Every structure is written in C-alpha cells, then in structure tokens.
C-alpha cells in the first residue's frame, strides 16, 4: 500500500453560545481536517483542533505544516510503517503537536480500516464505553445552575466547572452546584491557570465538602512546581491534575519524577496524537498517576480518536470528551455515539466514520 496524496481543508465550527474560560472566549473555532488517500482506495482521516494559548498553533500555522511539510513527507510512503512516519514527522514538526495529531489520527484510522477493526479494539480494548463529563464555562451563577440542569436533564452525571477569574465566585458556584447535584453526580473544577498557590489552597479548603473529583491546572503552566505546592498544601483533599503543564513526554516525566500531581489530562492535540499519548500513559502508570482523557474545542472526529484511546487504556479514570457537543455545524458529530452520558464508538473500522469535504 502506498500513499498517493494528502488532502487538507479548514472548517469553521460555530458554537451554540459563546464559551468562556479563564484565558479566552469563543463563539467559533477552526478545525483543520487531514485525509490520507492510498493506491488501494483506503483512506484515513484526522483533524487538528488548535488552541493557540496552549500549543502556540493556529489555523495559519497548521495549514502550511500539513500541506507543505507533512504531505510531501508522507507521499509515496507505506502508511503501515506508521512508527517510522510518526518519528520523522516529529523531527520536522517538533513544535506543532496539533498538526502532528491530525496525521497520527489519519494513520491510525487507516490502520484500523486495513485490519477491519474499530481502533480501540486494535489498540487493546479495556472497555466498550466511558462516561464523559460536560463542561460548563464561566458565566453568572444562575446561568451556571441553569446550564448544569440542562445537561443533567440529558442524562449526564459528571460536570466540569470552569473558573479561575474570581475566587469568591468560584467557591460560591461549587457549593451551589453540589447542593443542586447531590452526592451522585461527579463534579470537577478547572481553573485554567487562573490561581496563585494561595488561592488554590483556599479554594480547596472552602470547597472540601463538595467532594470534588479533581482540581485541574490551578496555577500557571510555565511553573509546574507550583502544582506540587498546591498538592502538598491540599493534603490529599482533592486530587491535583495537570493539563496545560503537560504537552510532551518530558513534561510527563518531570511531573512524575517530582511527584507534582495526582492526575494527568492527556489530550491528543497537546501530545501529538495517539502514539505519543500511549507513551505518556505508560509514565503515568509507572508513577501511580491516574489519567483523564480530555479534548480541545474539536470536531466529533477528533473526539472519536480520544475516545478510542481512552477505551484502550487501563489507567484512564475519567473522560472529558465533550468538545463537539455545542457545535451547530459539525458534520462529524456522529463519529461518537452518546447515550445517558456514556460515549460509545460507532463500531465501524478505524475511527468509525467516513469524512466528506
């Protein structure tokens, strides 16, 4: 089998309503799709969903990375030699993990189709579905409660609350949400780097009765040691999770060696795809850290790749794979099946979905 060509095209995805976190507000985003076409008629497709504040990439960097660097590297190659191709790609695009993730996904999608197996089975299925949280962005208290009620009415039983702009308001929201949800619904909090160590420790103390499942990236990513300070001061009341501080394998090793966090949020768009994510998961396993598989604001196809990875990993405790839920024009939304808050793959080979331009 030989790669004949690669196709690259951007899609602007529009949100149902503006979504705010500690460092940005979005009402639309651009995903870049990437398709590998082979001489056998088989194709594989992936998608890049950039977050410039996290990896430094955006549409204007990803398009040339895929068209001018990845496509010439892949053209004429055997796509089943994916280990070699992914290694080569890492050398020529060392600072573009989101672009690399699109290629990695497309190669894995193609591999699954060649094997006539859904990707999670090919990777070594540990489960056939997983519960996902749904994320509630930063908004006034009453709107936060109403948005949460909307998701609970749809059958979801895990909520991730965004914060990091106003400590007092965040504490108040968490307490009210726990009153609303009762003890049977999981509740997580993500400050997106918005707190100091002192603020994070106060937040943990004053929300202790809410029994949070995790506090995610409370302090600035550029100083990962601060996560260790939060963890030490929190005395195990709430697990501390790294997100923006975890981009590559060396970050995972540093977080593990220094015992800075309890959990890792692995996102394929940060790591460069499934292959490097597997290596990070191995470090987490050796360090006794638990894993949440998360996502950016990405189309259903990207979430499907994260889902297949999560289903194949034994140490994944949580999933936060809701990045496509509020898009109004995502033609790949059915790449993932949702029922009562659980995510399922389609059961078709590869990523389980055929993408049309």
59 labeled part of a ligand binding site: no
Contact 282, 260 (CB under 8 A): no
User: Which residues are CB-contacts of 56 (< 8 A; sequence separation ≥ 6)?
Assistant: 95
Whether 162 is catalytic: yes
- Residue 82's nearest CA partner among 282, 278, 255, 266 is 278
Residue 143 annotated in ligand binding:
no
Angle between helical axes of 82-92 and 97-115 (0-180°, round to 10): 170
**CA–CA dist 296, 286 (Å, integer):** 26
Is residue 267 annotated as a catalytic residue, yes or no?
yes
Catalytic residue among 114, 160, 173, 267: 267
Was 104 annotated as part of a binding site?
Answer: no
Tokens of 284: 């987490």
Tell me how far CA of residue 132 lies from CA of 148, 290, 349, in angstroms. Answer: 14, 15, 22
d(CA 99, CA 104): 9
Q: Which of 162, 173, 211, 258 is catalytic?
A: 162
Is the separation of the CB atoms in 108 and 119 below 8 Å? yes
DSSP codes joined into one string, 69-112: IIHHHHTTS-TT-HHHHHHHHHHHSTT-HHHHHHHHHHHHHHHH
Residue numbers belonging to the annotated binding site for Mg(2+): 190, 216, 243
Active site amino acids: 162, 267
Annotated binding site: 190, 216, 243
């Amino acid at each position: 089998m030989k790669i004949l060509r690669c196709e690259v095209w951007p899609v602007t995805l529009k949100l149902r309503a503006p979504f705010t976190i500690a460092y940005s507000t979005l009402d639309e985003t651009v995903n870049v799709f990437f398709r590998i076409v082979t001489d056998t008629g088989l194709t594989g497709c992936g998608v890049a969903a950039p977050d410039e504040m996290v990896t430094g990439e955006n549409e204007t960097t990803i398009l040339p990375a895929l068209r001018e660097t990845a496509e010439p590297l892949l053209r004429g190659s055997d796509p089943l030699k994916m280990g070699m191709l992914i290694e080569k790609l890492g050398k020529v695009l060392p600072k573009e993990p989101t672009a690399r993730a699109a290629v990695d996904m497309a190669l894995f999608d193609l591999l699954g189709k060649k094997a006539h197996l859904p990707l999670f089975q090919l990777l070594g299925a540990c489960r056939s579905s997983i519960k996902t949280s749904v994320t509630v962005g930063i908004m006034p208290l009453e709107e936060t409660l109403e948005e949460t009620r909307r998701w609970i009415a749809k059958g979801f039983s895990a909520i991730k609350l965004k914060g990091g702009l106003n400590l007092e308001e965040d504490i108040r929201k968490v307490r009210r949400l726990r009153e609303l949800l009762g003890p049977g619904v999981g509740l997580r909090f993500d400050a997106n780097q918005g707190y100091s160590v002192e603020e994070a420790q106060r937040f943990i103390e004053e929300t202790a009765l809410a029994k949070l499942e995790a506090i995610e990236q409370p302090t600035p990513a550029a100083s990962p040691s601060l996560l260790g300070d939060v963890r030490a001061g929190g005395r195990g009341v709430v697990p501390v999770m790294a997100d923006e501080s975890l981009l590559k394998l060396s970050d995972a090793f540093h977080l593990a060696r220094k015992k800075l966090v309890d959990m890792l949020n692995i996102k394929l768009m940060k790591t460069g795809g499934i292959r490097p994510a597997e290596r990070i998961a191995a470090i987490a396993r050796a360090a006794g850290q638990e894993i949440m598989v998360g996502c950016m604001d990405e189309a259903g196809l990207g979430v499907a790749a994260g889902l297949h990875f999560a289903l194949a990993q034994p140490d994944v405790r949580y999933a936060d794979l809701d990045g496509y839920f509020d898009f109004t024009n995502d033609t790949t939304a059915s790449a993932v099946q949702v029922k009562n808050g659980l995510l399922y793959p389609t059961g078709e080979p590869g990523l389980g979905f055929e993408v049309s331009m």
